[in-house]
Structure 1
């Protein structure tokens, strides 16, 4: 067991744990999270091993400035989690940057206390996000009870321990599980791209199955996407049956890989050898279309299309461009 892990829970169930304890993995044995499952499926078991605090002795938690808005939004909207504090304006440099010695000391002190330091304008944005999110959800009859936020479930599925931390799970047994995602655009097509790019379908099914294994409740799962800038619009997304069916196949495969790698204590990276890659047809079609356009221009004008581009880009009055 990794020496940094302080809390080990010996039975399946629902728990209230802080984020640090959860991310250090409190299960009786190294457990599969949705993050580790996505790493195995998108990259390799070695990547999952590297990101696992119970397996990698060199593991360190990852914390980036880019996480701050999402973390603060979770606190504001869900009512639970690490608090956020405004950096006093008088500590900032004349250009508004948090680059002064006093600002850096304030930021370090806040982080040491487990809080997220934000500029006052960012705090105003977080408060606006909370108001919009609660208004939109209330219009759907949804109220996020802080007592039901950031619950942790541990369960055994297919012979391995699995874990998940849920943003919000209403008390009513048939109500959906809610997961908050901050984003640049919450337009439905942008949400679809995010689900594809970040493997959120795997997360949704992993969370559903871990909750069911821990409680016996078979709940729907909904994402709440919210924009990080005005107007802070919200889009609630639930995956269709076909998508969930495919996600079940993916997460089952992830559990199988995890079980085999744990059993054999072997975490391979990418397959060895030379990998031959054929680029997609649309990529080739894009070039063929360009060739066709350039050939048509040459037939019509008798000159290469690059000549027209050179004239268009040349500084005004530069006669050499036309020669």
Structure 2
């Protein structure tokens, strides 16, 4: 099969670069492009599309390296990683020497993620912790069922999704693995809200169902990138998924319309009035109240107290 020959609807086991280049018959909608359509504009989505933007290039960021390497270690599939030899690093440990930069360039050209030796150790510890914690949840990431690409057509729109792990049994959930700073439940909630993971979850569910007929539950596995590398398994609730269903339907509608007209507008023209949220106003009013109370009790501005407290060798007492 030729590299650029489009793939039919269904489930495919293809390399990541093939998937990200968009292997569908027509320019397809991914969860990333859907989130861009909803949060920014069609013009931003066009810029990020490998099939629409002739100047598109895959994004390479150092911040992605740990996540990619952790995916490989935990899922057992995907781009591999390699340690930068310590002797190639500068005396301060930075990968800034000519030799280190050449090693990094060669590694990336070979499809490898270059990491420092201490980062490799952390990744391998993450793998070991993940194995134990996932076993407690009766989750087994079989490499043969990891990083599967689902292609389908929904509402007249070609859609694609690369799923981190889909167990063989149709009754089991789809899993998506995320590395994070904190896997505490409130942090996971913020991540879902801030990064549009609700839209990702529903897009993946719908694309997989359209490609296979299987209506599966979707769960995230969040793992911290620092010790103790803890894990939380999170399932998005039905009310959130119901709203995400509306969001992803709207994203498909925008994508279909822009493709049909071959027009990709940016932000709406004109002057837009913005009011900051209520909590911002409440926070300022609370500050005004505190400062006014201090002035009533002392007859002075609270900044005068701060000046005394922060003066050299001050012996002023506490705020009263």
Q: TM-score surpassing 0.5?
A: yes
Q: Does 1:258 align with 2:246?
A: no
Q: TM-score, normalised by structure 2?
A: 0.96
Question: Shift of residue 317 of structure 1?
Answer: 6.4
Shift of 1:143: 0.7
Runs of 4+ in 1 over 6 A off after TM superposition: none
Q: Secondary structure at the match of 1:180?
A: strand
**Residue in 1 that maps onto 2:210:** 213
Whether 1:165 aligns to 2:180 is no
1:1-323 alignment to 2 at 5 Å?
6-316=3-313
Give the CA deviation at 1:68. 0.5
| Residue aligning to 1:321 | none
- Whole-angstrom CA distance in 2 between matches of 1:108 and 1:55: 28
Could you list the per-position Cα deviations for residues 41-83 of structure 1 after superposition, in whole angstroms to 9, with x for gaps in the alignment?
A: 0111111011001111111111101110000000001111111
Q: What SS does structure 2 have at the residue aligned with 1:48?
A: helix
Any unmatched runs of 5+ in structure 2?
316-320
Deviating more after overlay: 215-224 vs 91-100: 91-100
Distance 1:10 1:88, change over 3 A: closer
CA contact (8 A) 2:308 2:314 kept: no
Instruction: Return the alpha-carbon distance in structure 2 between the equivalents of residues 72 and 7 of structure 1.
Output: 27
Equivalent residue of 1:201, what SS? helix
What is the deviation of 1:177?
0.5
Distance 2:84 2:244 in 1: 42
Flag the 1:263–1:171 CA change in 2: closer, same or farther, 3 A: same
Matched residues in 2 for 1:281 and 1:92: separation?
A: 50
Output the CA distance in 2 between the equivalents of 1:274 and 1:71.
41
Whole-angstrom CA distance in 1 between matches of 2:156 and 2:198: 22
Give the match's secondary structure for 1:153: strand
Please provide the CA RMSD for this pair.
1.4
Q: Aligned partners of 2:236, 2:276: CA distance in 1, in Å? A: 29
The whole-number CA distance in structure 2 between the counterparts of 1:181 and 1:169 is 15
1:8: how far off? Answer: 3.1
- CA separation in 1, counterparts of 2:314 and 2:287? 30
Residue-pair matches, total: 315
Between the aligned partners of 2:161 and 2:261, the Cα distance in structure 1 is 25
Q: Is the 8 A contact 2:26 2:158 kept in 1?
A: yes
Per-residue displacement from partner, 1:172-206 (whole Å, max 9, x unpaired)? Answer: 11110110000000000000000000000000000
Displacement, 1:298?
0.9
In structure 1, distance between residues paired with 2:84 and 2:111:
15
